[in-house]
């Protein structure tokens, strides 16, 4: 479609200029489909005419562009969850839950969020944090829910005591209205109008995605941690779960069994605590596996460092001491001992499973018991057990032996012959370099491009806010490597990892489960290096499906 300017002077037609006509996602989708159906363009051309990112406009309520033009943003942060959100400012998860349950629209504003804030994040229209990066807790959770979110807003200072949010010269109080544009990262004072449509009622959208599905080679999976998310993911077209994180399953009431395990002084004590977690974990996995049926579900074993499960504030430490019947000094000492200088490079991932094999055992048992239960109910599920943070083949072998032993025991106990795989996340640079060695025993690879990007660049995703803006402004980086795969650097490691992995295991299943799995350019890169699937937040699946189709069309066109 072209916008053309012309004039007629003295009976003569003058064409002044012509350029591609701007259209929003809804219009672009409709035009592409209608033109194809009228025989003006092929289906392939139709698929290429919609930018995958334009689908965001159909998938999320968007800020009315007309309103955005007449208002000035009071601050800017990182666009962590697309779409728009408007509501009253609240500064605590409890308050968000309280007002949200009454049907009030609220925006949760915090320095950062933690798993303990989730109950207030859910009812909020949007989330705004002053700290954190594109893969901070707030960003990950919000994107998983398709919720509008802005993080790392350095211009925002929160005064919790006086319940006010200070944006430079503008100070907003609790209850004041605020509007976020999560697609651009801009923040407005007051209530701005949003526009929303329901994609499922849009026949053009459905048709275009149907064509995309028939065209793409890459499979698409979702990152989902609960049966509810898994169900939603299937609705968005998920052909499996590429990343089911298990750490969320240790919060809420279960934190007490987890803390008991952390405080235990010996193996027996840890096992007692883990025994309490086992039935709950089994139930988690049962729910997700059953929803997904025969679709593969990649379950990542416990990943975060243990200090994320202990309280750092005095009051909470006292509560912990009293509930576990130990002294406050013991709690403090443990919290202190677990503290790390650089937790992201610390005692976590498979390193935990190697120090405490009983954690791996419990999780492997929970997964296999859940799978056996599904089988016994006639549902043939397909768990893929993923060992995180592998850097050497020996680490993988160590953990695989444990998982395999437990799996065989459970399947014998239950008399079921469950099909399963044991594989690993490739998220440490060294793992990509020695992928041939790792693939000798690993049955699948999933590229964890969030951590891989952090370590390959030496950027902490939580701290990069301090310089990443400068880097983008000064064109030192072309784009944020946490949003789009850095093909020049990180991409080399991914390509090397795929090639070397398949050099020792030709049928190695390879996917990606970092945030990049929902980024169109990154999806195309994944296609080019020969991955089997991409996995992303459920709400980004339509984008991934279209991008995957475009990748194939573009590749075949040469």
The footprint of a second copy (CB under 8 A) covers 340-347, 351, 354-355, 389, 391-392, 394-395, 398, 427-430, 433-434, 437, 451, 454-460, 462-464, 466-467, 470-471, 474-477, 486, 488-490, 492-493
Catalytic: which of 153, 350, 374, 513?
Answer: 513
> Shortest distance, CB of residue 398 to a second copy, whole angstroms?
6
Q: Which of 254/430 has CB closer to a second copy?
A: 430
Cα-based angle 172, 178, 180 (whole degrees, multiple of 5): 130
The DSSP H or E segment spanning 338 is: helix 328-338
Give CA–CA dist 467/485, Å, rounded: 19
Q: Which of 328/433 has CB closer to a second copy?
A: 433
Contact (Cβ atoms closer than 8 angstroms) between residue 533 and residue 220: yes
What is the pairing mode between strands 170-173 and 164-167? antiparallel
Q: Which of 66/476 has CB closer to a second copy?
A: 476
Angle between helices 203-215 and 541-556 (to 10 degrees): 50
> Shortest distance, CB of residue 351 to a second copy, whole angstroms?
5
**74 is written with which tokens?**
């009071």
Angle between helices 267-292 and 227-235 (to 10 degrees): 30
E-only strand ranges, 31-117: 62-63, 75-76, 78-81, 84-90, 106-110
DSSP secondary structure letters along 194-238: EE---GGG-HHHHHHHHHHHHH--SEEEEE--SHHHHHHHHHTT-
Q: Which of 278/354 has CB closer to a second copy?
A: 354
> Shortest distance, CB of residue 453 to a second copy, whole angstroms?
9
Respond yes or no: is residue 248 known to be catalytic.
no
> Shortest distance, CB of residue 256 to a second copy, whole angstroms?
24
Which residues does residue 330 pair with via DSSP β-bridges, in sequence order? none
Which residues does residue 172 pair with via DSSP β-bridges, in sequence order? 165
Q: Which of 59/442 has CB closer to a second copy?
A: 442
Phi, psi of 489 (to 5 degrees): -110, -70
Q: Which of 126/435 has CB closer to a second copy?
A: 435
Catalytic: which of 137, 307, 516, 527?
Answer: 137
> Shortest distance, CB of residue 463 to a second copy, whole angstroms?
4
> Shortest distance, CB of residue 437 to a second copy, whole angstroms?
8
Give CA–CA dist 19/34, Å, rounded: 21
Respond yes or no: is residue 137 known to be catalytic.
yes
Catalytic machinery residues: 137, 513
């Amino acid at each position: 479609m072209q916008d053309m300017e012309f004039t007629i002077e003295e009976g003569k037609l003058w064409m002044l200029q012509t350029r591609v006509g701007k259209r929003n996602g809804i219009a672009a989708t409709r035009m592409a489909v209608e033109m194809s159906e009228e025989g003006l363009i092929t289906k392939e051309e139709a698929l290429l005419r919609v930018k995958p990112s334009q689908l965001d406009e159909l998938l999320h309520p968007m800020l009315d562009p007309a309103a955005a033009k007449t208002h000035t943003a009071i601050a800017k942060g990182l666009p962590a969850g697309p779409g728009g959100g408007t509501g009253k400012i609240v500064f605590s998860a409890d308050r968000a839950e309280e007002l949200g349950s009454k049907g009030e629209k609220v925006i949760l504003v915090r320095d950062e969020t933690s798993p303990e804030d989730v109950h207030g994040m859910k009812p909020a229209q949007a989330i705004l944090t002053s700290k954190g990066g594109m893969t901070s807790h707030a960003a990950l959770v919000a994107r998983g829910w398709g919720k509008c979110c802005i993080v790392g807003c350095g211009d925002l200072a929160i005064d919790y005591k006086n319940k006010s949010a200070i944006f430079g010269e503008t100070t907003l109080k609790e209850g004041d209205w605020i509007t976020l544009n999560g697609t651009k990262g801009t923040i407005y004072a007051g209530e701005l109008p949003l526009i929303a449509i329901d994609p499922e009622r849009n026949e053009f959208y459905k048709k275009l995605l149907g064509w995309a599905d028939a065209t793409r080679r890459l499979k698409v999976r979702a990152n989902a941690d609960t049966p509810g998310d898994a169900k939603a993911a299937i609705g968005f077209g998920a052909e499996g779960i590429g990343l089911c994180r298990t750490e969320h399953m240790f919060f809420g009431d279960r934190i007490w069994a987890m803390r008991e395990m952390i405080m235990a002084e010996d193996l027996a004590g840890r096992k007692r605590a883990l025994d309490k977690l086992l039935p709950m974990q089994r139930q988690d996995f049962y729910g997700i596996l059953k929803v997904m049926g025969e679709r593969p579900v990649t379950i990542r074993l416990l990943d975060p460092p243990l200090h994320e499960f202990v309280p750092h504030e005095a009051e909470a430490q006292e509560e912990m001491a009293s509930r576990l019947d130990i002294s406050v000094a013991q709690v403090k000492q443990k919290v202190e001992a677990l503290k790390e200088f650089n937790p992201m490079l610390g005692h976590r991932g498979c390193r935990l499973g190697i120090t405490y094999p009983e954690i791996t055992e419990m999780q492997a048992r929970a997964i296999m018991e859940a799978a056996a239960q599904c089988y016994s109910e006639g549902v043939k599920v397909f768990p893929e057990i993923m060992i995180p943070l592998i850097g050497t083949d020996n680490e993988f072998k160590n953990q695989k032996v444990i998982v395999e032993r437990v799996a065989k025991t459970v399947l014998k106990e239950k008399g079921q012959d469950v099909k399963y795989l044991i594989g690993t996340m490739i998220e440490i640079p060294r793992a990509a370099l020695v992928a041939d060695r790792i693939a000798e025993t690993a049955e699948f690879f999933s590229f964890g491009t969030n951590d891989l990007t952090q370590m390959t660049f030496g950027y902490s995703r939580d701290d990069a806010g301090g310089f990443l803006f400068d880097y983008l402004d000064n064109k030192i980086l072309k784009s944020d490597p946490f949003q789009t795969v850095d093909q020049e650097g990180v991409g080399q490691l991914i390509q090397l990892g795929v090639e070397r992995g398949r050099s020792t295991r030709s049928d190695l299943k390879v996917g990606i489960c970092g945030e990049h799995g929902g980024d169109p350019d990154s999806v195309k890169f994944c296609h080019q290096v020969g991955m089997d699937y991409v996995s992303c937040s459920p709400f980004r699946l339509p984008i991934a499906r279209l991008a995957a189709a475009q990748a194939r069309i573009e590749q075949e066109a040469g």
